[in-house]
Structure formats: structure tokens, C-alpha cells
Amino acid sequence: MSLPEQAVQISGGASFTCAVLSSGSISCWGEGSNGELGDGDSSTSVTPTQVSGITDATQVSASSAGHACARLSNGIVKCWGTSNYGKVGDLLGSGSAPTPVEVPHINHAVKVSTGYRQFCALLSTGAVQCWGTSSLGVDSPESYLTVDLQ
């Protein structure tokens, strides 16, 4: 297996892996039945597949629960894959997003991290904003938990 260009960052989920490439695009490979590869298909691929519509990523985070998020150069976060509990930020609460969707209300992310049922973004203000569901107070797809760490 080879990537179409040099990888600058990589993240592995339970059954898929994604890499940010030097151009800012993202390639993923592995299990794709719930949109994990972000290419609009639900097929598994051992060959790296380009994630649709992302050309300026600076970071990717893949989860063990079949979803991933990318931080873009402008601080926006886009996510794809399994969306149970609103994890990809599309506020649907269930199903999957086979291509990246922008997470509402996240504008100045400097890092993004995935969990089993939630995601969190470190913002340029020093606050952490999380979405999805967890025992930490984020309990619906429409909920965001903001923690100021300063």
C-alpha cells in the first residue's frame, strides 16, 4: 500500500486509518460500511481513498467507533462516519454521514479529539467544546459542552 503523497499526520480507528497528506487532503483506508472512509461510499478499501471535499486539513482524528473528524486550516471541524448520538456534529442523532459535514458552532479549533461517543475541540480561546453524548454532560446531538480551561 502506498499513499498518493507524503503523510504529515496519521490516526487509526478500530478498523480504519486516515492520514493528512502534505497537500491538505485526507486519505482513509480500511472498513467503510458506515462511511468511515469519507468518500461517499460504504465499501471497504485496502487502498487509500481520498476523503470528499477536504483540501486544507491540518489534523485528523479517527475513533474506535467508526467516525473521524478533521480540523481545517481555518479552524472549522468536519466529521464523517457513524453518527449515532450526533457524533459527527450533523445533529441527526443517528445513521451515518458518508461524506464530511461541518460541525456547527466550532469556529476556531486548534485541535480535535475523538472519543467513543463524543468529540472535543480545543479552541484558540483555550476553551474546550465537546459534542455527542457522554457522562460528562453532553447528552444529545443538539448539546455542546464548553469548558474554559484558562
Question: Is there a contact between 76 and 59 (Cβ–Cβ < 8 Å)?
Answer: no
- Asked whether residue 133 is domain-assigned, the answer is no
Q: Which residue has the higher pLDDT, 139 or 31?
A: 31
The band of 112, judged by pLDDT with boundaries at 50, 70 and 90, is very high
Residue 100 counted as domain residue: yes
Residue 83 falls inside a structural domain = yes
Q: What is the mean pLDDT of residues 25-35?
A: 95
Expressed as residue numbers, the domain containing 64 is 7-106
How many domains are there within the chain? 1
Per-residue pLDDT, 83? 73
Q: CA–CA separation, 15 vs 131, rounded Å?
A: 23
Please state which of the ranges 38-52, 72-86, 96-110, 122-136 shows the lowest mean pLDDT. Answer: 122-136
Contact 26, 20 (CB under 8 A): yes
In a domain, 144, yes or no: no
- Which of 55, 43, 23, 36 is closest to 114 using CA atoms? 36
- Rounded to whole angstroms, the Cα distance separating 67 from 139 reads 18
Q: Which of 50-54, 85-89, 102-106, 122-126 has the highest mean pLDDT?
A: 50-54
R_g (Cα) of the chain, nearest Å:
14
Instruction: Tell me what pLDDT residue 91 has.
Output: 45
Q: What is the distance of C-alpha 117 from the center of its chain?
A: 12
> Is residue 142 included in any domain, yes or no?
no
Q: Does the pLDDT at position 95 exceed 90? A: no
Q: Is residue 13 part of a domain?
A: yes
First-to-last alpha carbon distance for the chain, in angstroms, is 44
* Distances in whole angstroms, Cα of residue 87 to Cα of each of 38, 47, 67, 137: 14, 26, 8, 14
pLDDT higher for 31 or 127? 31
Question: SS3 for 85?
Answer: helix
- Domain contains 65: yes
pLDDT given for residue 74 in this prediction: 97
| pLDDT mean across residues, the chain | 85
For 26, 93, 104, the CA distances from 84, given in Å and listed in that order, are 23, 5, 16
Q: Is residue 115 part of a domain?
A: no
